[in-house]
DNA sequence: ATGATTAGAATGAACATTCGATCTAGATAG
DNA sequence: CTATCTAGATCGAATGTTCATTCTAATCAT
């Protein structure tokens, strides 16, 4: 997840992520990060310019990782429906395999603590653009109803899966393969035309 | 929104809500709350036992307010589809009219800062239960496909609307009446059977 | 007057950051 | 092969600030 950083930076970033998810940002002090990562405070400041800097590096690293994960296993050559399913499957799998990173982005993507510059940099590595294109294509092919903006559709579907994951991570409900397939298929139906329904 | 509190408490709660949404919890100090609410720190501690206490009162008050808002304008006598539409319309309207309260719950409902007791108390006044019942009824009437848990369906739909609202509040997209109607209708279609489709 | 309420200065703890000292490894010289 | 040097890496104690909370005195209502 933090492959492009050195050992010390990795230790700090991993520890910070864990602490923030477990205990919340305000309860995550530099001295605690130092103790748990086994890197002295002085040395942390050798590699990061401030606490804010750590959080922002964390943000950028996770967003990039997530972006790569979600756009895996599918390409423009695949049929629209396949791309749709793979992408959302990836989103769910990402949330289940890397819950801390997922929760971190969920909690802090609108936080003033994250610099606008980090958010901008994040957007470039994101997957919203590619997915929007898939939806646009689905509309053009008559598989999705026209009328709503692709951007809005993606936003709604993303929200669905985020909340599914939240409920799962909170042990509020269970997610098995069958349920995931079913949820993705239902999502398709929300915007799908008769032509597109084949479930 | 804070009708059941006295003047001083209202001032403190309103100010705290505004500051937390504008500036984030950790940047919202007691002295700032005191200055902006025009209640001295000493007096704040006369009405609240701690900062945590303020946040938790805020949480409980908003959850109750939201619960009442969402279950307005519909009753068990209405047809399932009407109840479905009214409820989600209320959710969206709530988010648009009271964005701060909406954002606060979004950000802090999973926070360790909120006592479990507050969350429990919140659940009683919540609207998840009533909505789950509507979905259960829709399945029983053959309007919704069986297979998925009603709880999961509600969770997914709620996520859709939350993200729609987030995007709207972030000026990322515009929400007009037509779009809202269309989004709610699409949501119905996600789980709707052929019998139920009438759009 | 007296009990409740309000005010804001005082307190003490916690925290982000800095700083000077120490350590390490690799290069250079004898 | 050993001794010396050096620059970066690492350490943790010290600093100065911020903040939640408390305290004491003043004000108000009855």
Q: Measured from the CB, is B10 under 7 Å from any atom of strand C?
A: no
Confidence bin at B100 (pLDDT 50/70/90): very high
Does A90 lie in the same domain as A8?
no
Number of domains in chain B: 2
Contact A156 B164 (CB under 8 A): yes
> Does residue A198 have a pLDDT over 80?
no
A115-147 pLDDT, tens per residue? 888 888 877 777 888 999 999 999 999 999 999
Whether chain A has a CB inside 8 Å of the CB on B163: the answer is: yes
Position A61 scores a pLDDT of 95
Here the contacts of A121-125 (C-beta below 8 Å, separation 24 or greater) are: A121/A60, A122/A59, A122/A60, A122/A63, A122/A64, A125/A63, A125/A64, A125/A67, A125/A68
Position B124 scores a pLDDT of 74
pTM of the model: 0.92
Counted across chains A and B, CB pairs separated by less than 8 A come out at 108
Task: State the SS3 of chain B.
Answer: CCCCCCHHHHHHHHHHHHHHHHHCHHHCCHHHHHHHHCCCHHHHHHHCCCHHHHHHHHHHHHHHHHHHHHCCCCCCCCCHHHHHHHHHHHHHHHHHHCHHHHHHHHHHCCCCCCCHHHHHHHHHCCCHHHHHHHHHHHHHCCCECCCCCHHHHHHHHHHHHHHHHHHHHCCCCCCCHHHHHHHHHHHHHHHECHHHCCC
Residue in chain A lying closest to B169 (CA): A110
**How would you class A170 by CB atoms within 10 Å of its CB: exposed for 0-12, middle for 13-18, buried for 19 or more?**
exposed
> Does residue A199 have a pLDDT over 60?
no
Q: Tell me the C-alpha distance between A36 and A91, whole Å.
A: 30
> Does residue B196 have a pLDDT over 70?
no
- Judged by average pLDDT, the poorest of A38-47, A113-122, A146-155, A166-175 is A113-122
Does B31 lie in the same domain as B63?
no
In chain A, residues with a C-beta closer than 8 Å to the C-beta of B192 are 189
- Inter-residue contact A107 to A156 (CB < 8 Å): no
Task: State the SS3 of B36-69.
Answer: HHCCCHHHHHHHCCCHHHHHHHHHHHHHHHHHHH
- Inter-residue contact B8 to B43 (CB < 8 Å): yes
Q: Tell me the C-alpha distance between B164 and B174, whole Å.
A: 9
- Per-residue pLDDT, averaged over A171-184, amounts to 95
For A45, A107, A116, A118, B30, the CA distances from A112, given in Å and listed in that order, are: 22, 11, 8, 11, 19
- Per-residue pLDDT, averaged over A170-187, amounts to 95
Does B109 lie in the same domain as B20?
no
Position B197 scores a pLDDT of 56
Position A197 scores a pLDDT of 56
> Does residue B198 have a pLDDT over 90?
no
Distance, CA of A54 to C1' of C19, in Å: 21
Whether chain A has a CB inside 8 Å of the CB on B160: the answer is: yes
Q: Which nucleotide is nearest to A49 (CA to C1')?
A: C17
Does B8 lie in the same domain as B84?
no
Q: Measured from the CB, is A29 under 7 Å from any atom of strand C?
A: yes
Taking residue A3's Cβ as centre, other Cβ atoms within 10 Å add up to: 7
Contact A179 B148 (CB under 8 A): yes
A33-61 pLDDT, tens per residue? 999 999 999 999 999 999 999 999 999 99
Does B107 lie in the same domain as B30?
no
Any residues with CB less than 8 A from the CB of A55 and at least 6 apart, and which? A16, A20, A25, A108, A113, A114
Confidence bin at A148 (pLDDT 50/70/90): very high
Whether chain A has a CB inside 8 Å of the CB on B190: the answer is: yes
Q: Which nucleotide is nearest to B46 (CA to C1')?
A: C5
Q: Which of B15, B30, B48 corresponds to the end of one domain? A: B48
**A77 — phi, psi (to 5°)?**
-75, -25
**B125 — phi, psi (to 5°)?**
-90, 5
Residue in chain B lying closest to A157 (CA): B160
Does B75 lie in the same domain as B147?
yes
Contact B159 A162 (CB under 8 A): yes
Does A60 lie in the same domain as A27?
no
Position B152 scores a pLDDT of 96
Position B121 scores a pLDDT of 79
Q: Tell me the C-alpha distance between B119 and A110, whole Å.
A: 23
Query: Across chain B, what does the average pLDDT equal?
Result: 93
Does A28 lie in the same domain as A70?
no
User: Residue A30 maps to which CATH number?
Assistant: 1.10.10.60
Does A99 lie in the same domain as A112?
yes
> Does residue A29 have a pLDDT over 70?
yes
Does B183 lie in the same domain as B129?
yes
Contact B23 A112 (CB under 8 A): yes
Query: Across chain A, what does the average pLDDT equal?
Result: 93
Residue in chain B lying closest to A22 (CA): B112
Does A179 lie in the same domain as A104?
yes
Position A110 scores a pLDDT of 81
Distance, CA of A52 to C1' of D5, in Å: 38
Position A78 scores a pLDDT of 96
Assigned token pair, B16: 């705290």
Structural domain span for residue A68: 52-197
Confidence bin at B74 (pLDDT 50/70/90): very high
Distance, CA of A63 to C1' of D4, in Å: 48
Q: Which nucleotide is nearest to B40 (CA to C1')?
A: C7
Beta bridge partners of A144: A192
- Whole-number percent of chain A with pLDDT over 70: 97
B111-148 pLDDT, tens per residue? 888 988 888 877 776 788 899 999 999 999 999 999 99
In chain A, residues with a C-beta closer than 8 Å to the C-beta of B156 are 160-161, 163-164, 183, 186-187
Does B123 lie in the same domain as B26?
no
Interface of B with A in 17-46 (CB under 8 A): 23-27
């Amino acid at each position: 997840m933090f492959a492009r950083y050195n050992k010390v930076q990795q230790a700090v970033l991993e520890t910070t992520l864990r602490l923030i998810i477990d205990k919340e940002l305000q309860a995550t002090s530099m001295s605690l990060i130092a103790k748990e990562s086994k890197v002295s405070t002085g040395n942390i400041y050798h590699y990061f310019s401030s606490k804010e800097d750590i959080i922002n590096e964390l943000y950028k690293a996770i967003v990039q990782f997530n972006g790569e994960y979600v756009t895996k296993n599918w390409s423009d050559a695949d049929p629209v429906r396949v791309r749709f399913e793979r992408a959302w499957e990836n989103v769910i799998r990402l949330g289940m395999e890397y819950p801390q990173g997922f929760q971190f982005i969920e909690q802090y993507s609108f936080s003033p603590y994250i610099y606008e510059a980090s958010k901008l940099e994040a957007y470039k590595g994101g997957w919203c653009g590619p997915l929007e294109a898939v939806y646009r294509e689905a509309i053009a092919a008559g598989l999705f109803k026209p009328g709503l903006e692709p951007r809005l559709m993606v936003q709604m579907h993303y929200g669905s899966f985020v909340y599914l994951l939240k409920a799962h991570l909170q042990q509020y409900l269970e997610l098995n393969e069958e349920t995931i397939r079913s949820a993705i298929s239902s999502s398709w139906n929300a915007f799908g035309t008769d032509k597109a329904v084949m479930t």
